[in-house]
Amino acid sequence: MIKEKYSDHLYSGEMLAILEISGTPACILDVHHQTVTLNSGLSSELMIDEAELHLSNWLSLFRIHDRGEIYRVIHQLAEWDEAELTVTIPIADVNKTFSCKLLHLSNGDIAVIFSSLFNQTKIPSQKSYQYTKKNPLPSCTVLNLTETFKTQAKTTRTSKVKERLVEAADNFPYGLAMLNSNWEVIYANSVMENMVDLPLSKYYRKKLWDLFSVDDYNNFFQHCLRAMETQETVEFQGTLHKKGIMMDLTIVPSEQGITIIAKDITWYMDQFERLRKSENRFSIITNHIKEACWVCSPETGELVFLSDSFTQIYGVDKEIILNDPPRLFDLIDKEYLDQVKEAALIMTQKEHQVEFTITTPDGESKWIRMKGFPAEDDGKQYVVGIDEEITKIKEMTLLEEKSRQLSTITQMAAGVAHEIKNPLTAIKGFLQIGAVNPDLRDSYHDIILDEVNRIESIVQDFMMLSKPKSSVQLEYVNLDAIISYVSRLLDPDTSNKEVMIHYTCDSKLNGFYCEPKRLKQILINLVSNAMDALDEDGEVQIEAVLQNDELIISVIDNGHGLSEQELTKLGEPFYTTKEKGTGLGIMVTKKMIDDLDGRLNYQSSKNEGTCVTVRLPFRT
């Protein structure tokens, strides 16, 4: 009846007046503004002078076990129109029990009508707990003389324990504050005072909302109220608007009030935000490049990071590999697997790269180049790397190689045609002369034979160039014996030109594995070229040394030498500095050295001689 009349005709103040005339204690709750307006009947019943209270202050009048239920009901407006509760309120030295009827009004307010149930319980006297002596706690502490810690010291031991607790609270590394059940500040350590920038020790017994605006810190007050009513610890994060400090807050409730523990996390949150922004920038970069970036821990084998490009390159969802890194090896073709594992170990020590092929789950074959290097972060070792698909690069390289080969074949074919045409023309001419003049045949016989030998030499060089590397057959050889063979073979030429051949050998050199035929031919070609570059009384020096598991053979002459331009052309088909040379000798020599996994190098200066160096693997 009352609710209907209020909804249709009356304001809140009129509602209270009507209830007051009828002698009914009542109040109006403005949930939005967190205020409670009491009529004189309720103020008289509760023995308080104020006609308007803050909602939290009003709730503190009830027994602590009733507050939670009242709080729950008034914050569930949408679920009820009318509710009834039985509550107990300590008044003077008596606990009075009331039946409270809550009416949900149309403007959002709540009318609370109190009916006394008259079963009153006397509250036990507190006089025996009051101080009869001076507070034994140190006067220098922030705790000061508050009623929360006023308890009669029964023994010296109890007093010392309290002193230690106070000292621990004052030196606690985090902010620490205590409120009693009436929301009054009763203690705060120096850390908390510095955080809030307020000397809280001067405001003991002040209500918390008198120091901090409820509107500015509504979320904080709500958490404190929830902790009080539910008697459960509440943890949350908040910000002090005045100083911009971010805090981790823990509210610990008790029957006497709440304890607030605050930790300044501003620096950590700033660092976290910077790290988040840095990670975002890093992700933007790594996720917009074609290469797959990765970071792994060599100790655990865990992949710490893998960019999105991995999925596109390998054809497998990156999350699968992040959860099970060894599955990556299933994609690598078996012929390269050991090579990749060895390269991964090297990457833990220094920068390294390896190229290999994979077969994706769709059956596509790809070339991958993996680069990696060691890195350290916060005392932990990592390997950072990039995987790049180089299939197209490999195809282009192969195409360029074939193009070069085709160009070389074309050039050599033209050269062969030219080189063979000259002796063939001479042979044809002398045969025609011999046919007309039979008596002159014998005089041209030697010339014809020389031209045939020239053609045969060209053909033999081509045959040597066409031999595959697979035809190499390694044998255990002695370098001294091979050089002696070459010297004896060339002895007639050295005698005719009065050229001296000298040979020096490293004492560490013993037998090793090589193909003797190719090695002999290499030395014959190099020494012959050196002798061709000499005048009479020239010298050829052959040196052999062992260095870093490599056999280094040097053929040095003191002949005419070569210019820089001649050195750049050396090795081109049919380029020669000799009058009767074909230009194929150096090509053949280089081909044989390549077949033996070696390298050829020329050093020369005009009129100062030439040094030709051959480097071969020393296999024992």
CATH code of the domain in which 433 resides: 1.10.287.130
Of residues 471 and 540, which shows the higher confidence score? 540
Residue 586 has pLDDT above 50, yes or no: yes
Give the count of domains, the chain: 5
Q: Is residue 496 part of a domain?
A: yes
Cα dist from 197 to 121, 192, 201, 240, whole Å: 45, 8, 12, 10
As given in the structure block, the two tokens for residue 51 are 């006609």
Q: Do residues 498 and 559 both lie within one domain?
A: yes
The DSSP code for 573 is T
Predicted pLDDT at 166? 73
What is the residue whose two structure tokens read 């890195």? 375
Q: For residue 260, give the amino acid letter.
A: I
Q: Do residues 156 and 257 both lie within one domain?
A: yes
Q: Do residues 432 and 451 both lie within one domain?
A: yes
Q: Do residues 368 and 411 both lie within one domain?
A: no
Q: How far apart are CA 98 and CA 92, in angstroms?
A: 15
Per DSSP, what are the bridge partners of residue 37?
28, 52
Q: Do residues 540 and 474 both lie within one domain?
A: yes
Predicted pLDDT at 140? 34
Q: Do residues 446 and 503 both lie within one domain?
A: no
Q: Do residues 350 and 381 both lie within one domain?
A: yes
Q: Is residue 166 part of a domain?
A: yes
- The domain containing residue 415 runs over which residues? 394-464
Q: How far apart are CA 471 and CA 463, in angstroms?
A: 13
Q: Is residue 273 part of a domain?
A: no
At 232-259, the pLDDT tens digits run: 999 998 888 778 888 999 999 988 889 9
Answer yes or no: are the C-beta atoms of 609 and 557 closer than 8 Å. yes
Domain boundary among 122, 150, 178: 122
Residue 36: pLDDT band by 50, 70, 90 thresholds? very high
Q: Is residue 274 part of a domain?
A: no
Give me the CATH number covering residue 200: 3.30.450.20
H or E element, residue 155 = none
Q: Do residues 382 and 297 both lie within one domain?
A: yes
Predicted pLDDT at 149? 39
Q: Do residues 210 and 245 both lie within one domain?
A: yes
Q: Do residues 335 and 398 both lie within one domain?
A: no
Predicted pLDDT at 349? 92
Nearest to 147 by CA among 200, 186, 192, 96: 186
Q: Is residue 513 part of a domain?
A: yes
At 516-538, the pLDDT tens digits run: 888 888 888 888 888 888 877 78
The DSSP code for 178 is E
Give me the CATH number covering residue 54: 3.30.450.310
At 288-339, the pLDDT tens digits run: 678 888 899 988 888 888 888 888 899 999 899 989 988 989 999 999 999 9
Record the pTM: 0.38
Phi/psi of residue 208, nearest 5 degrees: -60, -40
As given in the structure block, the two tokens for residue 597 are 């996994």
Answer yes or no: are the C-beta atoms of 85 and 102 closer than 8 Å. yes
Predicted pLDDT at 579? 58
Mean pLDDT of 181-208: 88
Residue 607: pLDDT band by 50, 70, 90 thresholds? confident
Residue 397 has pLDDT above 60, yes or no: yes
Residue 150 has pLDDT above 60, yes or no: no
Give me the CATH number covering residue 554: 3.30.565.10
Q: Do residues 492 and 610 both lie within one domain?
A: yes
Q: Is residue 85 part of a domain?
A: yes
Domain boundary among 388, 408, 429: 388
Answer yes or no: are the C-beta atoms of 209 and 54 closer than 8 Å. yes
Q: How far apart are CA 65 and CA 238, in angstroms?
A: 28
Q: How far apart are CA 546 and CA 553, in angstroms?
A: 9
Predicted pLDDT at 374? 93
Predicted pLDDT at 288? 67
Q: Is residue 430 part of a domain?
A: yes
Q: Is residue 437 part of a domain?
A: yes
Predicted pLDDT at 142? 34
Q: Do residues 248 and 303 both lie within one domain?
A: no
Cα dist from 510 to 473, 474, 603, whole Å: 19, 16, 27
Domain boundary among 464, 484, 509: 464
Residue 77 has pLDDT above 80, yes or no: no
